Structure 1
């Protein structure tokens, strides 16, 4: 009972920021599908934010039903010839169509056009993240903390490697670093891996090798696992500056930031498959709601930053080669392009059923992680 009360309190307290973040990300994902479909001449039957019973809806002049539904955990675009929101073909309806009707259906388009429509959703998520990051970098700038060592913990990985107070880190694992945050980001994903450091010590360039240690830290967002050197940033105000960017510079930095999130997320998922990472950090809607609420208390800029991070994550998730997801559809289209003909209806139907089972298992697993997380609070 206490667990249910805690979950209810979380939803009531954090609901508005959660809905804002999720709706923004889902809307742009589906808008990507929608715009490319219209460009390819596909008739769009419905554009829905959420699932289930319709709360608000209207029809545009092209016959598309725009709707906001009761369950806000996602959305979909339904094309002419689709049987359901997952774009599974309705073969009976397709067989009954006239040539003109079939030409405006999703199935009636070339494999290249269908692939473009499907890929447009995740691509829109990446574009949204870049736009948000660029806007934040232009309007608010970035706090840059010089990669200068302010202190070294005793018996830490840094101390054993010979890093000293006052050293300025120039590069980590061959990657130049501009700020202490860059340093922490690279090190956080290299726990247990010997890592080359280039540093400046009183005008002299020194090469060292250090192996970050894996640490587990419990926070209000759950267990965080990362690599740690055991150093702190300099507290000297002269080593902290606010860097502002012109719009074109901000876009370049935003692309780098988006790529970093892609790379880090991919490394984590790969670590789960390889057994190096624990899957208990995968969160479901309750965890996202909690994080949204906590971040909203910091400020609107922080909430937008979270939306950008979530947008990248959803883009990557949808590119996974699982039937029912965009990546699964792209795999089918790649096979179709290679064979010169689509897979049989039976094979596609079996694939969609397997994909549905996998997606449901992922949802259940993530929700269970949320339950365990809230029990530990």
Structure 2
């Protein structure tokens, strides 16, 4: 149960921050945001505040921010259609009722001759009249926040200047880029909190906490020991020491240390650890920790940068064939890994969250149709051409990309099921 809760909280946080980036910059650009959703599929929670509906959906595999102009805008009001109109205090149309007109007995009914809901914002039609048999042709101007009611569903109209496509290229690009950007910001924030809680690992080869029942404790190593060399190889950083230890499981190593100004040689045999078909040595010692403000101020940036480079390096191996697609993990693999990480404590779970957030940010920036990076690529082409690509053609490319991504998700998920539950 703890694993399920951890997975939902982590995945929810990653998606929430990603969509929050899109949402904030869309609002800053004046774009009408119709829906802020976590998950896909049927709604299990919905709440509308001002002009945006906030929803949680059944399938926790992503989320979206639905901006005006990205989809077909609304129900088409055609000539000959009979609609009911309600007005605000300024005598502008506040509601256009297509179905369910009986619920608005005080509305004025017209037979539509023309409706223009983006630029000039008017609806023209023949108003029912008792005096004139054929009615009177009148033009009614709409409020910029007018609502269309159809099948009890209310949809706010979106004037052209509130639609995504109307904005400057820089505003549209920033709105799309903000999603991945907020994933990096989340990672930075989490790494900073980790630093505040536990301190920042010192780079010098100074031993920190000695873990109970580990090889370091059995050999007699102590906290604050300075490692000078291992088997005659000079050690200049804690990372150097860790690398040597990992490469020699179950092999005796001679640690030359400085303890209170005196040099000692201590034999240590790293324990052999097997994890995901890989083996490495471990002696059970943590790095010394620094809680000074200067270190804490830059720790989040350093860790975010370090892991960004590492994930990009792994992606490079995937492209060059050094990394098999069978080694990728989908939701099932992430769930299983989360279960293992959760056993190691809250700090490791927080670190895992930060790594997943960086990974999500990088993956979304790849120039693949249907991803944020694919949309940014189209914006780049638009900047070079001086005009946007035909929306229908771009939509078709994104649709094909989305279908291929779903196919890849199915393949990766099936590999995860085979790896963790069948083999």
Query: TM-score, length-normalised on structure 1?
Result: 0.72
Q: Any idea what SS the aligned residue of 1:78 has?
A: strand
Give 1:123's match in structure 2, choosing from 171, 181, 206.
181
Separation in 2, partners of 1:181, 1:291:
27
Aligned to 1:169: 235
Q: Any idea what SS the aligned residue of 2:38 has?
A: strand
Q: Does 2:37 align with 1:48?
A: yes
Residues 232/294 of structure 1: CA separation in 2 closer, same or farther (3 Å cut): closer
Residues 144/341 of structure 1: CA separation in 2 closer, same or farther (3 Å cut): same
8 Å contact from structure 1 (residues 148, 169) kept in 2 = no
User: Where is the strand percentage greater, Structure 1 or Structure 2?
Assistant: 2
Residues 97/327 of structure 1: CA separation in 2 closer, same or farther (3 Å cut): farther
Q: Which has the higher contact order (CA 8 A, sep 6+)?
A: 1
Separation in 2, partners of 1:49, 1:96:
33
Q: Does 2:384 align with 1:338?
A: yes
8 Å contact from structure 2 (residues 235, 241) kept in 1 = no
Separation in 2, partners of 1:292, 1:330:
31
8 Å contact from structure 1 (residues 79, 105) kept in 2 = yes
Aligned to 2:411: 365
Separation in 2, partners of 1:342, 1:332:
8
Q: Any idea what SS the aligned residue of 1:65 has?
A: strand
Q: Does 2:312 align with 1:324?
A: no
* Stretch moving more, 113-122 or 287-296: 287-296
Unaligned runs of 5+ in 2: 77-114, 120-143, 145-158, 208-214, 217-228, 248-255, 259-272
Q: Any idea what SS the aligned residue of 2:166 has?
A: coil
Separation in 1, partners of 2:320, 2:380:
26
User: Where is the helix percentage greater, Structure 1 or Structure 2?
Assistant: 1
8 Å contact from structure 2 (residues 238, 287) kept in 1 = no
Separation in 1, partners of 2:369, 2:375:
6
Aligned to 2:49: 60
**Deviation per residue, 1:39-86 (Å, 9 max, x gap):** 11111000011111111111112x100111111111110001122xxx
8 Å contact from structure 1 (residues 137, 245) kept in 2 = no
8 Å contact from structure 2 (residues 206, 288) kept in 1 = no
Q: Does 2:400 align with 1:354?
A: yes
Q: State the 1:111 CA deviation.
A: 1.0
**Deviation per residue, 1:239-272 (Å, 9 max, x gap):** 95232242x5324121111112111111111111
Q: State the 1:366 CA deviation.
A: 1.7
Separation in 2, partners of 1:120, 1:243:
33
Aligned to 2:12: 23
Greater C-alpha radius of gyration: 2
Cα RMSD after superposing both structures: 3.3
Q: Does 2:358 align with 1:280?
A: no
Query: TM-score, length-normalised on structure 2?
Result: 0.65
Q: State the 1:280 CA deviation.
A: 2.1
Aligned pairs for 1:188-207 within 5 A: none
8 Å contact from structure 1 (residues 54, 70) kept in 2 = yes
Aligned to 1:98: 118
Residues 356/90 of structure 1: CA separation in 2 closer, same or farther (3 Å cut): farther
Aligned to 1:111: 169
Residues 321/90 of structure 1: CA separation in 2 closer, same or farther (3 Å cut): farther
Separation in 1, partners of 2:339, 2:196:
25
Unaligned runs of 5+ in 1: 1-11, 84-88, 152-162, 171-177, 189-199, 203-216
Aligned to 1:291: 337
Residues 147/372 of structure 1: CA separation in 2 closer, same or farther (3 Å cut): farther
